[in-house]
Amino acid sequence: MNEPVDVLIIGAGASGAAVAWSLAETRMRIVCLEQGDWPKSNDFPSTGTDWEARALEDYAISPNRRALEADYPVNDDDSPIKIANYNGVGGGTVFYAAHFPRLHPSDFRVKSLDGVAEDWPLDYGTLEPFYALNDRMMGVSGLAGDPAYPQKEAVMPPIAMGRTGEVLGTAMNRLGWHWWPSDAAIATEEYEGRAPCINLGQCGSGCAQGAKASTDVTYWPEAIRSRIEVRTKCRVSRIETNDADMATGVHYFDADGKEVFQPAEIVIMACNGIGTPRILLNSASSRFPDGLANSSGLVGKNLMLHPYAQIRGHFDERLDGYRGPPICVWSMEFYETDPARDFLRGYSYQFSRGIGPARTAINGFADGMVPWGEGHHAAFRRLFERSAGMVSVCEDLPEETNRVTLDPDLKDGNGIPAPRITYRLSDNTRKMLEHSVARGVEILQAAGAHDITTKAPVPYAGWHLLGTARMGRDPERSVVNEWGRSHDVKNLFIVDGSVFVTSGGVNPTSTIQAVALYVADQIKSRIYELFD
Amino acid sequence: MTTMSDKQPPAPLTDIERVTLLCVAGHMIPASVEYGVPGADDLRIFADITRSIDRDREALGKALQVVNDLSDGMILALSRAEQAKRLAEFRTRHADLAGVIESVVARCYYRDDRVMASIGMEARPAFPKGYKVEQGDLSLLDPVRARGRIYRDAG
Ligand SMILES: Cc1cc2nc3c(=O)[nH]c(=O)nc-3n(C[C@H](O)[C@H](O)[C@H](O)COP(=O)(O)OP(=O)(O)OC[C@H]3O[C@@H](n4cnc5c(N)ncnc54)[C@H](O)[C@@H]3O)c2cc1C
Ligand code: SF4
C-alpha cells in the first residue's frame, strides 16, 4: 500500500490538469494517476515528411486502431459514430483541434427555454469567471466583439483567417449569415514560455511547436512546480469504499502491471465521458451493486457525442491548403432554437482549411473525384490545395438509451473490462444534420466551390464524450451535485465531460475546464464542510 | 476489433501479395511524362510502401486476395487491359478494401521527394520551419458587427 494522499485525481487530461492546478494552492498532498505517458513532441508526426502516414498509425485518433499500451479498447460496434481519444498526459487536448468556443447562455437553460432535456444547475454567469481564467491559463486567441456571445476578452490576437477565411467569410456576408474568427487554444504570440503557432497544420496529431494549448504544456508544468505529482503509466481499475460509503482510495496497475492500492481522502475523477463511467461501473461492490455513485441508475447513460456533418468543396484558386491550423472561422447562425425549423436546438459550423496530399488523394479516390490510371495526376491537381469547407457540430440531446456499459468479454491489457458503446442518432439529430448539410452546400456554392461532397454523420468523429455522470440538484436525476460531488459518495468528485447535462452545439473543452475550475473553487471554499 | 494483446508486428508480404500490390499500385498511380512523376510502382516508392503497411497488414492481405480472386486467381497473368477491367470491378464491388490499398499506396507516394516537388511542396517536414498563412482581412466582419447581437437571453 502506498502512503495516503489528500487528493487523488484520476486522469491527466483537460479537466484533470485544471482541477490539479487550481487545488495546488491548498498545499494538500495531491497525486494524479494517468494511464498513459508524457507525450514526446520530438516524435510528433509534423517532425517528418511521413506525417500523414503516422497520423494513421501511432498517432491515429481511434484507440482501437492505435492499440498502444496506454490505450484501452472501446467496443463501438453498436454506434454509427466511433470513439476518438488520446490516453496520456494532456488527454484529448494532445490531439484536439483547439477550437475553443464556450457554451452560450441559453445552453444552460434548455428545459426552461425550449422544453427539452434538463436545465443545468449552473448558468453562464456563474461559469464566466472560470471561462476567463481558463482562457488565460490555456492561452486563447480570438477577436473580441463576437455578436454571438456576451462580451469576452481576447487573450491573444486571432489565428490567421487566411484566404480560406476570406473566401468563406465573403460567402457568409453574401448570405447575410453570422461568422467570426474562431476562438482557438493556440498561442499566436509568445505566451508564458510557449512559442507562437507557425502554421504546421497538424494540430490533430500533436503540436511539435508547443503553440497549441494541450494541458501537458499549460496547466501541468505549473501544477508540477507547485509540487503536484503526476504518476504516469498507472491505470486505475476500481475505487474502494468503506462502511460509511466514503471512498478510501483506488486500486491501480502500475507500469510493471503490479496492482497497487493508493489511499486518499478525496478522489476526483477526470477520465472523460467514457473512462469515468467505465471505472464507476467497474467499482461495483456489495455496498454499490450497480456501480459506484449510481443510485440514480444514470452512470453511463445519456452519452452525447455531438454528431458531425462534413461539407467540403473545391475552388479554382489556391487556398491555404495544408498550412495553418485546420480550424479557421466559425458560424453561430443556426445555433439557437428557431420554431420555424423541424428540429429543436441547433448547431455551430467550424470552417476548415485544406488537407495534405495523401489525404487529398485518399478522399478523392473515395469520393470518386480522383480516378485510378491516366487521369489521376490531373484530377489530383484540380483538388490539391484548393479545398475548404466546414463541419457542423450538432447538439446531441441526452437519451438514456445512448450509453456506456461494461463489455462482458473485451478487456484492456490489465484485464479491466472495456467500455461498450450503444448509441443511436435521434430524429431530431438527423433533421439537424440534414439542415446543416443543406445550408453548408449553400455556403460553398455562394463561395464559388465546385465538386462539393457531404458526409453525415461523420463516422470517425466521436471525440466529444459527454453526459454519462451528469450534474444536478436531484439525486434521482443526476450523479453529482451542482458542484461536482457525488450524491452517494461524499468524498468523490467528477470534473470531466461526464458531468454535462446537455451538450450544446459547440466543442466542449473550454466548458469542461471551466467546470473543473469551478468545482475546484467549490472544494476550496467548502473545505471545512466538504463532506456534510 | 483489435485489442492490445492481439497486436503483433505485421507479417511481411508474401511473394504473391508483393507482386499483386505492385501491379495494383502501377494501375492506381501510373508514371507520367507530362507531370514528370514516377508511378507508385517506382522501386523506391514501392519499397517505402511495403515497409509502411503497419496496421493495415491484415486488411491489405484480404484486399489483395480479393483482387486475385476477381482475376481468375492471379492478376499478373492477365493482359494490362484486362487487369484494368478487373480492378475497376474490384473498386466498384469492394470499395472498402480498395480504400485500404489506396491509403497504403497514397500515403507513401505523396511523400516522395520527386512527387512533392511536382505538386509544389518543399521536400521537408513541416516542423521546425513551419509555413506562412496570411492573416486575412478583418474588415470583412463589418456586416456581421453591423447586424448586432444574435444570442438569446437565458433569463
Ligand atoms: C481528434 C480530436 C479532436 C478534438 N478537437 C476538439 C476541439 O477542437 N475542441 C474541443 O473543445 N475539443 C476537442 N476535442 C475533445 C477534447 O479533447 C476533449 O473534450 C477533452 O480532452 C476532454 O477532457 P476530459 O478531461 O473530459 O478528458 P480527457 O482529456 O480525455 O482526459 C482523460 C484522461 O484520463 C485518462 N484515463 C482514463 N481512464 C483512466 C484510468 N482508468 N486510469 C488512469 N487514467 C485514465 C486518459 O488516459 C486521459 O489522459 C477533440 C478530441 C479529439 C480526440
Ligand atoms: S498549426 Fe500551429 S498550433 Fe497547429 S500544430 Fe501547427 S504550430 Fe501547432
B-chain CB neighbours of A336 within 8 Å are 150-152
pLDDT band for position B2 (cuts 50, 70, 90): very low
Q: What's the 3-state SS for A97-117?
A: CCECCCCCHHHHHHHHHHCCC
- Report the run of H or E that residue A241 belongs to, with start and end: strand A235-241
Cβ–Cβ gap B131/A201 under 8 Å: yes
Q: Distance (Å) from the C-alpha of residue B109 to the closest C-alpha of chain A? A: 8
Per-residue model confidence (pLDDT) at position B155: 67
Residue B112 included in any domain:
yes
Provide, rounded to the nearest whole percent, the portion of chain A with pLDDT above 90. Answer: 100
Do residues A311 and A147 lie in contact, with contact meaning Cβ atoms separated by under 8 Å?
A: no
Chain-centroid distance, C-alpha B3: 25
Tens of pLDDT along A156-192? 999 999 999 999 999 999 999 999 999 999 999 999 9
Per-residue model confidence (pLDDT) at position A145: 97
Provide, rounded to the nearest whole percent, the portion of chain B with pLDDT above 70. Answer: 94
Q: Distance (Å) from the C-alpha of residue A320 to the closest C-alpha of chain B? A: 7
Of A53, A165, A324, the CB nearest to B108: A53
**DSSP code at position A159:** P
Closest CA to A17 of A489, A527, A466, A509: A509
Residue B39 included in any domain:
yes
Per-residue model confidence (pLDDT) at position B7: 58
Q: Is A268 in the pocket of ligand 2 (CB under 6 A)?
A: no
Output the CA angle A10-A12-A14, nearest 5 degrees: 115
Do residues A80 and A459 lie in contact, with contact meaning Cβ atoms separated by under 8 Å?
A: yes
Of B2, B115, B138, the CB nearest to A67: B2
* Nearest residue by C-alpha to atom 4 in ligand 2: A203
Closest CA to B118 of B57, B31, B21, B55: B31
Residues 6+ apart with CB under 8 A from A239: A247, A249, A250, A267, A279, A280, A283, A292, A492
Q: Is A347 helix (H, G, I), strand (E, B) or coil?
A: strand
What grid cell was written down for A133? 481564467
Q: Is A201 in the pocket of ligand 2 (CB under 6 A)?
A: yes
Residue B105 included in any domain:
yes
From residue A531, give the alpha-carbon distance in Å to each of A28, A43, A266, A525, A526.
Answer: 16, 44, 10, 13, 9
Total domains present in chain B: 1
B33 lies in which domain range? Answer: 15-127
Grid look-up 456489495 returns A286
Q: Does residue B5 register a pLDDT over 90? A: no
Residue B9 included in any domain:
no
Per-residue model confidence (pLDDT) at position B153: 86
ipTM, interface predicted TM-score of the complex: 0.95
Q: Which residues of chain A have pLDDT under 70?
A: none
Of B3, B28, B135, the CB nearest to A73: B3
Of A64, A163, A361, the CB nearest to B134: A163
* Nearest residue by C-alpha to atom 7 in ligand 2: A197
Q: Does B33 touch chain A (CB under 8 A)?
A: no
Residue B2 included in any domain:
no
Residue B106 included in any domain:
yes
Average pLDDT over chain A, rounded to an integer = 97
| CA of residue B61 to ligand 1 center, whole Å | 34
| CA of residue B126 to ligand 2 center, whole Å | 10
* Nearest residue by C-alpha to atom 8 in ligand 2: A207
pLDDT band for position B6 (cuts 50, 70, 90): very low
Spell out the alpha helix ranges (H) of A292-423. 357-366, 376-383
Q: Does B73 touch chain A (CB under 8 A)?
A: no
A108: nearest CA partner in chain B? B154
Which atom from ligand 1 is nearest to the alpha carbon of A15? 25
**DSSP code at position A158:** P
Per-residue model confidence (pLDDT) at position A529: 93
Q: Is A172 helix (H, G, I), strand (E, B) or coil?
A: helix
Do residues A297 and A518 lie in contact, with contact meaning Cβ atoms separated by under 8 Å?
A: no
Residue B143 included in any domain:
no
CATH architecture of A5-354+386-529: 3-Layer(bba) Sandwich (3.50)
Q: How far apart are CA B44 and CA B22, in angstroms?
A: 12
| CA of residue A513 to ligand 2 center, whole Å | 21
pLDDT band for position B92 (cuts 50, 70, 90): very high
Count Cβ–Cβ pairs < 8 Å, chain A vs chain B: 218
Instruction: Please indicate whether residue B155 or residue A22 has the higher confidence score (pLDDT).
Output: A22
Tens of pLDDT along A454-473? 999 999 999 999 999 999 99
Tens of pLDDT along B34-85? 999 999 999 999 999 999 999 999 999 999 999 999 999 999 999 999 999 9
pLDDT band for position B3 (cuts 50, 70, 90): very low
Cβ–Cβ gap B131/A366 under 8 Å: no
